[in-house]
Amino acid sequence: MNLRDLSQIATVRDLENLQEKIINEVRDLLYKKQKLEREFFTPKEFSHITGLKYSTVVYHCKVGRLKARQDKHGCSWQIDTSELHRFKNEAKTNAI
């Protein structure tokens, strides 16, 4: 197949769209990998990842249902990464 045949198959705009899609997908994958390699999550991040309401996540931190810490009273909670793995495992177990 020569170059002339390729120009009839895909337009420049098609290739630009494909390039943009690939860049966005790689960016998303890197972002997700970075998030999973972290030691702690904020309640907002944990809420976003799990789908729980932010207020529910904070409540679970306060009552000790989530392994989390606060450096000082009134500071943001830091939720241990292990809690995300536990949450996912419990969700799988409950789905069965």
Rounded average pLDDT over 62-68: 94
Whether 79 and 43 have beta carbons less than 8 Å apart is answered as: yes
Rounded average pLDDT over 38-63: 92
In whole angstroms, what is the distance from residue 58 CA to residue 65 CA?
Answer: 10
> Are 71 and 29 part of one and the same domain?
no
> Are 10 and 22 part of one and the same domain?
yes
Write out pLDDT tens, residues 22-38: 988 888 877 776 665 66
Q: Quote the pTM value.
A: 0.57
Strands, E, within 10-54: which ranges?
Answer: 40-41
Question: Could you please report the per-residue DSSP string of 47-89?
Answer: HHHH---HHHHHHHHHHTSS-EE-SSTTSPPEEEHHHHHHHHH
Q: How many domains does the chain have?
A: 2
> Are 46 and 89 part of one and the same domain?
yes
Which position has the token pair 């996540």?
57
Residue 18: give the domain boundaries.
1-37
**Looking at the predicted structure, is the pLDDT value of residue 15 above 90?**
no
> Are 27 and 51 part of one and the same domain?
no
The model's confidence at residue 69, banded by pLDDT at 50, 70 and 90, is: very high
